[in-house]
């Protein structure tokens, strides 16, 4: 709780929050730009690491300084390192998404200049080389998806009938990846429709000129002709005009055909022979018939009727179109069953050779145990007993060393009295008065031993050497 109240632990990736930190007055423009690029990189790291498949991410931006001269301008670059979850991998769409995420977050950064690798150092972006090669790989992957999907359909239909191990299906799809875009304008697809009609009629009652053409003096017509001309002159001139406008249909079609259309399908199916009961052959004339003729099982090919039924099932399952040249081939063949050869039973001598290695290991183990319990164990016992006896012998209280230095019960050195005489309970250098020494406890002995080590380490080392030499 105290750490949380103090803001600990704090993440090192602050992102754009670092821009709000106090800056000194003398901060240069280069430092400000570098801090901004670092803030953008940390924000991208957070965004990429938020994906389920990514556990951690690192982003490095190489953004050049802008120049007023075109020849001195260089492109921005970015590198991304992702740590993927165990057993997971990025798909092509996810790789493209990460690349475009980084390219869209940095100004003037082209997606081609973004490099993406994983924690194992494998290059993930730009694996296909050129753009044409990447498109070819994508087209090949699309064709394999279609073939696998159609193959799975046929297997699901035939497996319940013949068994999954008795059916082999192969589908080959020819895919047309040509993208076509065209505009079609058509007329007269339907009957014309009258849109408008205009009728004009002119009638004139004026008399028209009469007489013989070319004559200087008009000759009066005959009586009979006069009546006719008079009637015609009275009738006048009449003209009639009619204008009709028809609406002709017009169809404009904008067709954009995407690639990936199935151009042709070829399906091949092989069925295994079926086990069928076959009656026993009739007895040969002149020989005795067997008492009970039992039917035997034999592997026989699939009948043509069943092959025709299977072909119809495959056509409907795959969607065969005879108009585009699709074909289906159904055949029956006996599958080869590979039976592993059983190993021959080894002879007795051969079996002994197989256990030779195990026997050597057993003998080595027995020899090792004999060495441990027969040699090492008695030696350890003697060393332990000798060391214990030496410790017991040397653990007797000694209050005065050979140099005449006296110690108390706690192992502290005692100062000699003014008269130069030791206390009555403490023996002198020759140990005359040491016969009445009291029995010491373990702590007292340990304290005295520590004091002797501090006072005279060389002598203590010599005593230990003597013990080791005596035990040896």
pLDDT at 422 over 50: no
Output the average pLDDT for the chain.
Answer: 75
Partner residues linked to 169 by β-bridges: 269
Q: 114 is written with which tokens?
A: 């973004």
Band (395; pLDDT cuts 50, 70, 90) = very low
pLDDT at 435 over 50: no
- The winner for highest mean pLDDT among 3-7, 9-13, 215-219, 327-331 is 327-331
pLDDT at 235 over 70: no
What is the number of structural domains in the chain? 2
- The winner for highest mean pLDDT among 10-14, 436-440, 451-455 is 451-455
pLDDT of 468 reads 79
Q: Map residue 26 onto helix, strand or coil.
A: coil
What's the domain range around 83? 27-66+73-126
User: CA–CA separation, 52 vs 119, rounded Å?
Assistant: 16
Same domain, yes or no: 108 and 39: yes
User: CA–CA separation, 191 vs 55, rounded Å?
Assistant: 68
Can you give the pTM of this predicted structure? 0.41
249 touches 185 (CB < 8 A):
no
Cβ-based burial of 78 (10 A; exposed 0-12, middle 13-18, buried ≥19): buried
> End of a domain among 89, 107, 126?
126
Same domain, yes or no: 122 and 271: no
List the CATH number of the domain containing 155: 3.30.300
List the CATH number of the domain containing 101: 3.30.300.30
pLDDT digits 0-9 by tens, 250-275: 888 888 877 788 889 999 999 998 88
Same domain, yes or no: 264 and 141: yes
Report the half-sphere exposure of 376 (CA within 13 A, side-chain side): 7
Cβ-based burial of 87 (10 A; exposed 0-12, middle 13-18, buried ≥19): exposed
Same domain, yes or no: 55 and 156: no
> End of a domain among 126, 149, 165?
126
Complete DSSP assignment for 404-469: --EE-TTS-EE---TTS---TTS--TT-GGGGGPPPP-HHHHHHHHHHHHHH-HHHHHHHHHHHHH
Same domain, yes or no: 37 and 114: yes
Mean pLDDT of 397-403: 49
246 touches 193 (CB < 8 A):
yes
């Amino acid at each position: 709780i105290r750490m949380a109240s103090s803001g600990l632990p704090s993440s090192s990736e602050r992102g754009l929050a670092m821009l709000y930190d106090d800056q000194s007055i003398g901060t240069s423009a280069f430092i400000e730009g570098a801090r901004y690029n670092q803030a953008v990189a940390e924000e991208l790291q957070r965004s990429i690491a938020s994906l389920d498949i990514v556990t951690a991410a690192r982003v490095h931006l190489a953004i050049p300084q802008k120049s007023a001269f075109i020849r001195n301008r260089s492109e921005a670059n970015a590198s991304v390192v992702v740590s993927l979850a165990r057993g997971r991998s990025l798909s092509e769409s996810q790789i493209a998404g990460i690349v475009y995420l980084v390219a869209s977050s940095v100004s003037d950064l082209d997606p081609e200049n973004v490099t993406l690798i994983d924690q194992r150092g494998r290059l993930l972006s730009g694996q296909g080389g050129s753009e044409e090669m990447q498109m070819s790989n994508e087209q090949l992957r699309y064709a394999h998806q279609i073939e696998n999907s159609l193959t799975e359909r046929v297997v699901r239909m035939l497996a319940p009938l013949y068994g999954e191990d008795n059916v082999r299906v192969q589908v080959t799809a020819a895919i047309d990846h040509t993208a076509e875009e065209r505009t079609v304008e058509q007329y007269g697809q339907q009957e014309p429709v009258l849109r408008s009609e205009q009728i004009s009629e002119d009638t004139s009652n004026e008399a028209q000129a009469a007489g013989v053409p070319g004559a200087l003096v008009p000759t009066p017509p005959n009586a009979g002709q006069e009546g006719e001309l008079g009637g015609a002159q009275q009738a006048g001139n009449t003209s009639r005009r009619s204008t009709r406008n028809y609406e002709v249909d017009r169809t404009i079609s904008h067709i954009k055909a995407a690639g990936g259309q199935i151009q042709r399908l070829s399906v091949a199916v092989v069925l295994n022979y079926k086990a069928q009961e076959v009656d026993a052959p009739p007895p040969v004339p002149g020989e005795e018939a067997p008492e009970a003729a039992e039917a035997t099982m034999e592997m026989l090919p699939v009948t043509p009727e069943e092959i025709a039924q299977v072909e119809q099932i495959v056509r409907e399952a795959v969607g065969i179109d005879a108009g585009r040249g699709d074909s289906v081939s159904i055949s029956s063949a006996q599958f080869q069953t590979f039976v592993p050869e059983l190993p021959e039973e080894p002879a007795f001598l051969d079996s002994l050779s197989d256990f030779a290695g195990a026997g050597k290991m057993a003998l080595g183990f027995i020899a090792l145990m004999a060495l441990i319990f027969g040699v090492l164990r008695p030696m350890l016992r003697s060393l332990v007993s000798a060391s214990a006896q030496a410790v017991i012998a040397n653990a007797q209280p000694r209050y005065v060393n050979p140099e005449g230095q006296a110690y108390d019960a706690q192992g502290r050195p005692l100062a000699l009295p003014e008269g130069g005489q030791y206390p009555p309970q403490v023996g002198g250098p020759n140990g005359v008065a040491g016969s009445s020494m009291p029995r010491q406890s373990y702590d007292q002995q340990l304290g005295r031993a520590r004091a002797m080590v501090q006072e005279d380490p060389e002598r203590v080392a010599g005593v230990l050497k003597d013990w080791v030499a005596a035990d040896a």
